[in-house]
Structure 1
Amino acid sequence: MKIERLSPDKIRIFLTFDDLSERGIQKEDMWQEIPKVHDLFTDMMDQAYNEVGFDATGPLAVEVFALPAQGMVVIVTRGKYDHHQYMGHIEDEIPEDVYEMEVTLEESDTIVYAFNDFEVLIEAAHVLQWNITKAGKLYNYNDKWVLYLEPADLDEDKHPSLIAVLAEFGESISTTEAVLEEYGKVIIPEDAIGVICHHFARQE
């Protein structure tokens, strides 16, 4: 479980499938109100408080992004109490530490990884070129190099090895293509892996 603070009221949590299987949770369970999912969420909030000081009191909007062969990205945004929701309750009876979750789930087949250093991306591209023929679009977004891969361009049987390489060199992100197109800059519009390998040599 990896936690990153995005703003004072928002965090991003990356859950691997190992994190889920250790708790007996399937991907489809994540939007259900079942005890083991509630326990997982409690653990996430405890860890978020301990690691990044994120206080989960108040209503929370929870977005769950399922990523192929990688795990899940959970975006938690803290809101404020809407006292109109508690009509009929005595205000003093509203517990301060209770959080109200609104969970939405999106599933994406795309594979998106960010790299802080272009040299690291070059190294990853040279390793990947043996598994990928012509695929990938490269963006510059938030001062990072973002490699965007469409599943239709990839051999499904090679997904696990592909993910293993990408996870070694980069960081999985849930940014959509629409966001990358609007707020990022397209550096290589197609065949990014091949273009990088052709123009840039690996470091010895």
Structure 2
Amino acid sequence: MKIERLGQDKIRIFLTFDDLSERGIQKEDMWQEIPKVHDLFTEMMDQAYNEVGFDATGPLAVEVFALPAQGMVVIVTRGKFDHHHGVGPHYEDDLPDEVYEMEVTLEQSDTILYSFDDFEVLIEAAHVLRPMLTEAGRLFKYNGKWVLHLEPEDLEEGKHPAVIAVLAEFGEATSVTPAMLEEYGNQVMSENAIGVICSNFKRQD
């Protein structure tokens, strides 16, 4: 579980599928009101407070982006707390419930994004991937890492699991979105990144 502060009232949490499976949660459970998900959200908010000082008091807007290859990105935005609500002897009792007054929206994405610390490792991955991919991939430099961006249409039918396996072996799933890459990253290769890398860089012996 990785937590990043996006602003005073907004954080982003990246959950891998391992994070979910360790807690006995399936991807489909994330938009259901079940105790396991409630416990996970409590854990996320505790960790967010401890790591980045995010106070989850008040109504929260929660956006969940399901990324099939990487896991889930959860964007939590804190709304304005209504100080008139619950005024009276039970005000303190009402506060815990307020923390979980959530509005949840979900989006599915088939985009594949993996980051690489070392360009030499990316070269190796590209050569392994090339037989599976024809003309595929965009390459960005973002936060000191090389980020490879693949769309589902770049992959031949049935090759998806094999491609993910290679990417997971050489790189690391990242929670950054294509929109963030385009806005804050530097586009190094706009198309056919796999082919361009393989044509210009040899594998290490």
TM-score (norm 1): 0.80
Find out whether 1:167 has 2:168 as its counterpart: yes
Using a 3 Å threshold, how does the CA distance of structure 1 residues 14 and 161 change in structure 2: closer, same or farther? farther
**RMSD value, Cα:** 2.7
The correspondence of residues 84-99 of structure 1 with structure 2, limited to 5 A, is 86=85, 89-90=86-87, 93-94=91-92, 95-97=94-96, 98-99=98-99
Residue by residue over 1:111-162, the C-alpha shift from the partner in whole angstroms, topping out at 9 and shown as x without a partner, is 1223344333223222322332221111234444321111011034232232
The residue number in structure 2 matching 1:40 is 40
- State the identity as a percent: 71
Residue by residue over 1:166-187, the C-alpha shift from the partner in whole angstroms, topping out at 9 and shown as x without a partner, is 23423322413x4433444332
How many residue pairs get aligned? The number is 199
Using a 3 Å threshold, how does the CA distance of structure 1 residues 46 and 200 change in structure 2: closer, same or farther? same
The correspondence of residues 1-204 of structure 1 with structure 2, limited to 5 A, is 2-7=1-6, 8-83=8-83, 86=85, 89-90=86-87, 93-94=91-92, 95-97=94-96, 98-99=98-99, 100-168=101-169, 169-176=171-178, 178-204=179-205
Instruction: Give the letter for the 2:74 counterpart.
Output: V
CA distance in 2 between counterparts of 1:119 and 1:78 reads: 41
CA distance in 2 between counterparts of 1:27 and 1:108 reads: 13
Shift, 1:28, TM fit: 2.5
Moved more, 75-84 or 103-112: 75-84
Using a 3 Å threshold, how does the CA distance of structure 1 residues 165 and 49 change in structure 2: closer, same or farther? farther
Residue by residue over 1:14-48, the C-alpha shift from the partner in whole angstroms, topping out at 9 and shown as x without a partner, is 22334334444332321222222112211222333
CA distance in 1 between counterparts of 2:36 and 2:48 reads: 18
CA distance in 2 between counterparts of 1:52 and 1:127 reads: 38
CA distance in 2 between counterparts of 1:156 and 1:57 reads: 46
Using a 3 Å threshold, how does the CA distance of structure 1 residues 82 and 144 change in structure 2: closer, same or farther? farther
